[in-house]
Amino acid sequence: MDTLLRIDVGAAKGPSVNKEPIGAYAGMGGRALTSAVVAKEVPPLCHALGPENKLVIAPGLLSGTAAGQSGRLSIGAKSPLTGGIKESNAGGQAAQVLARLGYACIVLEGKPRNDDLYTIVITKDGVKIEVDNSLKMLGNYDLIDKLRKVYGEKAAYISIGPAGEMKLTAASIACTDMELHPTRHAGRGGLGAVMGSKGVKVIILDDEGCKMREPKDPEKFKAANKVWIEGLKKHPVTGGGLPSFGTNVLTNIINEAGGFPVNNFSSGQFAGASKISGESQAALMTARGGQPTHGCHRGCVIQCSGIYNDAQGKYLSKQAEYETVWAHGANCGIDDLDTIQMLDRLDDDIGIDTIEMGVTIGIAMDAGLIKFGDKEGAINLLKEVGKGTPLGRIIGCGAGMTGKAFGVERVAVVKNQALPAYDPRAINGIGVTYATTPMGADHTAGYAIATNILKVGGFVDPLKPEGQIELSRNLQIATAAIDSTGMCLFIAFAVLDQPETFQALIDLLNAFYGLSLTGDDVTALGKSVLTSERNFNKAAGFTKEDDRLPMFFTRDPIAPHNQVFAVKDEELDKVFNW
Amino acid sequence: MTVTVKLFASLRTGRFDLRAMDFPADTSAAQAIAAAGVRPEEAAVVFVNSRHAAPDTVLADGDTLAIFPPVGGG
C-alpha cells in the first residue's frame, strides 16, 4: 500500500493513469491521507465541481490486513455542500480490496473534456478506463446488477447514482457490501457530485490474486488482533446491543432522553418512536426472513448491519441505520418502517445522503409542500430527485437550498450540512461537535452522545453546558485518529471503556508497521488532521462565525425539557485550543 | 404510588416492555429496578421523566422510569 494512483480525467488523449510512490504522504491512511492530499493539492477557493478539485479515495492504515473491523474507506475532497474540506467515511468491501491491490489512495483529478461517462477497473494487472455511456443515469442497484455479470461477484464497486451524475450537492458515493448491494455510502457532503464532475460512474476493484497485507511482526500482530477482537466481543455495546438490534437501538434511548427531533426539529419526543425502534425493526426483520445481525464487510466483528425484507419476504434494503430511521421517520412525522425502508432504498439507488434527504423533506413538509406524516408524499418527493425534475434538483441539493427555495427559517444546518439525529438543545455536547467540526454538522466527528446519553467513557450531563467543550474536543481528536486507521468508529465504544482494547489498537499499528507509537502519538495524529482541515477551511473563507448552530437552537426551547442550546459562542471558540 | 416502568432492548427478554407498577412512598429508582427483576449491573442507563437518574433517586407518583442495558450506535 505504498502507491498513489493518480487519474487525470482531463488529459489530452482521455483519462491518464499515473502510479506514483507515496512519497510525502508515507505513513498516512484514511482521513489523515485524504485530508492531507486535499489540503496540499486543492486550492481552497476553487469551485468544488471545477478542475482544481480532487476526489481522494483512501483505505485506512489497517485496511486489507487481518485486523478485525478494519474495512472503512475514507473519501475526501472540497465539499460542494459545505464549501469546506470533507472526509466522508463508508463501510462495505472497497477499503479491504483497494488496500490489498496495493494502493494507499486513488486521486481523481482534472475535468473531463466531454460528457462521456467512465468506468475504471483496477486489478492486480493494472488499471483500465473505458467509456460506457450505456450506464448514464442508472440507479446504483441496476448499475451493479448489470456490472456484476461482467466483472463478477467478488469485485467491490464504488459508484454514483443519478444524483451524482446531476452533481446535486447531497449526492453520495456508494460502496457494495458482501452481497453486492450498493448500500454502504460515503453519504455526507455531496462527494457523489465531485465524482460526477470527474465523469466517473464507477470504480471496480478486483483483488483476485492479491494477498492479505503482511505485518512487519506477524506474531505480535496476531496476538494484538486476538486481544482486539476479544475486546470488541466482550463489550456489551459492540458485542451485544449493536449486533442484536443494529444502530437503531438508539431510537428509544434518544427519544426517552428528549433529544429525538420530530417534525423538522419542532419537538424532542416522537409518539411513534416505539413503532420505528430497533427493537421493532429487528423483530420485523426476523419475522420476514431478513437478517438483523450482519456485517457490512468481511472481517467485521460487530455485525451491526442487517437485511430488511418487504412484507412478501423479498429483499428491500439494508437495515436502515438509526440516522436514516430518524431522518425519514420522526423528523418527517412518519412512524412506518416499510416507508422508511423504501426511502432508504431510494436514497441508496439514487445515490444521495439519507440524513440530508430526511432533514430536507422535513423542511419541505414544514413549508407546506406536503404534510408531516405523508408517507406517499415523502416517497414521491424523493423520486423527483431521481428523475431530476426542477423540484427534485432543489430537494437533492439539501436542506439549506430547500429552506431558501421555500422560505423556511427553521433549517437545521451547520456549514450548510444538515444536522443528524440528536437535538442539541437536549444534548449540548453533540451541539458543540455540530457547530465546530470542520466537516459541517456531523455526529460522527465527535460523538458526544456516548458520554452525554449512553454513559460510555464516563458521563457529562447533556442538559448542562459544563464539560461539553472538553468532551467534544477529546472526541474530535480521537475520531480524526480512528478515521485514519480504517477502523469502524463503533470500536470507540469498547476503546473508551476498556484500556486494554485501546492498547490492542496501538499494538496492531505498531506490529503491522514496526513502530513504537504510544497513546500520545495517536492524540498528536488526531490534532494534526484537525489542524490541517481547519487551515483549509480558513483559507476557503470560514471564520469562527461559521462554527455556530442556527440561531433558533439558542432561541426556541424544545419539549420535553424546554431548554435551548446553552453553550456560549466564546466557549465554542475554545474547542481547538490545545 | 404508581410508576410507569419501561424496559428496552435485551432487558425485555423474559420480562415486559411497559408496566404500571405500584410502590410505597419513598421508593428509590434502585428499588424499582429490582422490583422489575432487573439486576443493578444490567441497568446501564436509567431515566426518570426523561432525565438521567442515579440509583438513589426517590420516585414520585406518576413518574416514568426507563431502564436501558448498555446500548450504542450512531
Interval A298-327: pLDDT, tens:
989 999 999 999 999 999 999 999 999 999
Contacts with A253 from chain B: Cβ below 8 Å: 8, 45, 68, 71
Nearest to A279 among B9, B47, B50 (CB): B9
Q: Is B67 helix (H, G, I), strand (E, B) or coil?
A: strand
Domain ranges of chain A: 3-205, 215-244+424-578, 246-422
Q: Are residues B10 and A241, on separate chains, in Cβ contact within 8 Å?
A: yes
Q: Is A441 helix (H, G, I), strand (E, B) or coil?
A: coil
Whole-angstrom distance, CA of residue A81 vs CA of residue A167: 11
pLDDT of residue A483: 96
Q: Is A506 helix (H, G, I), strand (E, B) or coil?
A: helix
Nearest to B8 among A258, A279, A450 (CB): A279
Contacts with B66 from chain A: Cβ below 8 Å: 256
CB interface of A with B, residues 245-284, below 8 Å = 245-250, 252-253, 256-258, 269, 278-279
Q: In what order do the strands lie in the sheet with A3-8?
A: A16-21, A3-8, A103-109, A55-59, A73-78, A85-90
Residue at grid coordinates 442556527: A550
Fold (topology level) of A3-205: Aldehyde Ferredoxin Oxidoreductase;  A, domain 1 (3.60.9)
* DSSP code, position A344: H
Whole-angstrom distance, CA of residue A319 vs CA of residue A183: 10
C-alpha cell at A473: 474536543
Nearest CA in chain B to A280: B9
Domain ranges of chain B: 2-68
Nearest CA in chain A to B72: A237
C-alpha cell at A184: 454502504
Q: How close B18 gets to chain A, by Cα (Å)?
A: 11
Q: How close A484 gets to chain B, by Cα (Å)?
A: 19
Nearest to A241 among B47, B52, B69 (CB): B69
Nearest CA in chain A to B67: A253
Whole-angstrom distance, CA of residue A471 vs CA of residue A485: 22
Hey, what's the torsion of the CAs at A164, A166, A171, A175, to 10 degrees? -20
Q: How close A264 gets to chain B, by Cα (Å)?
A: 19
Which one, of A478, A480, A482, A485, lies nearest residue A63 by Cα? A485
Q: Is residue B74 very low, low, confident or very high in pLDDT (cuts 50, 70, 90)?
A: confident
Spatial contact of A547 and A435, defined as CB atoms under 8 Å apart: yes
Spatial contact of A97 and A205, defined as CB atoms under 8 Å apart: yes
Helix (H) or strand (E) run with residue A281 in it: helix A278-287
Q: What's the distance, Cα to Cα, between the start and end of chain A in Å?
A: 33
> Which class is domain A246-422?
mainly alpha
Q: Are residues B73 and A279, on separate chains, in Cβ contact within 8 Å?
A: no
CB proximity list for A288: less than 8 A, separation 6 or greater: A308, A309, A310, A311, A313
Q: ipTM exceeding 0.95? A: yes
Indicate the CATH number for domain B2-68.
3.10.20.30
Interval B7-57: pLDDT, tens:
999 999 999 999 999 999 999 999 999 999 999 999 999 999 999 999 999
Which one, of A23, A61, A178, lies nearest residue A521 by Cα? A61
Q: Are residues B72 and A454, on separate chains, in Cβ contact within 8 Å?
A: yes
CB proximity list for A380: less than 8 A, separation 6 or greater: none
pLDDT of residue A1: 79
Whole-angstrom distance, CA of residue A305 vs CA of residue A293: 6
Interval A428-462: pLDDT, tens:
999 999 999 999 999 999 999 999 999 999 999 99
C-alpha cell at A324: 436514516
Which one, of A87, A117, A81, lies nearest residue A105 by Cα? A87
pLDDT of residue A86: 98
How far, rounded to the nearest angstrom, does the alpha carbon of residue A363 sit from its chain's CA centroid?
22
Spatial contact of A367 and A399, defined as CB atoms under 8 Å apart: no
Ordered DSSP codes for A189-227: TSHHHHHHHTTEEEEEE--TTPPPPPPSSHHHHHHHHHH
**CA angle at A157 for the pair A151 and A159, rounded to the nearest 5°:** 120
Whole-angstrom distance, CA of residue B57 vs CA of residue B53: 6
Indicate the CATH number for domain A215-244+424-578.
1.10.599.10
Low-confidence ranges of chain A (pLDDT < 70): none
Q: Are residues B10 and A456, on separate chains, in Cβ contact within 8 Å?
A: no
Q: Is residue B73 very low, low, confident or very high in pLDDT (cuts 50, 70, 90)?
A: confident
pLDDT of residue A2: 87
